[in-house]
Structure 1
């Protein structure tokens, strides 16, 4: 891992609700830079090999995202485990409950 901020990549399907919320919330924390992307071709920001290479840590919202990433980018994932946050697709962007859930999952970035 490089020195400087920890680079977190959050992935959902269309990059419109869950992963952009995680990006916004985590970018408020100390010593972290977060980016979000989606696995679908019509995502706001489509997941790419460059984003996989950029990230120190990769988080997905559902197991289906992990399967897609592993299948498509296996060669780039040698030292990058993917963690499934198990956040269902039933939140709006910046939903208060989702924000609390995300902050609870990443207490090390909020002091």
Structure 2
């Protein structure tokens, strides 16, 4: 049985996030990307504390595509070291899971 997987990442802006997300949807690696612009961040980077604005992105895919999604996201991401967090929901609505599976080329 296929399981849902959420991928959390950030981008420099919403347009880049949407562009990368659309390419992953077209490649059937993810079913959807949700982009929330305007996040303000404070983070440590190479020994300094930085501030910036980013866009949060949440991608919906399947656990068995994790390695492929990670590789594709890293190759298309503009950050030197993108944040990529995999979140496995404990459960998913059956219709939601069926949609994710169908849109990523899988079978239930």
Please confirm whether the aligned pair reaches a TM-score higher than 0.5, indicating the same fold: no
Decide which structure has greater strand share.
Answer: 2
Q: Which has the higher contact order (CA 8 A, sep 6+)?
A: 2
TM-score of the superposition, structure 1-length normalised? 0.32
Q: Which protein is bigger by CA-based radius of gyration?
A: 2
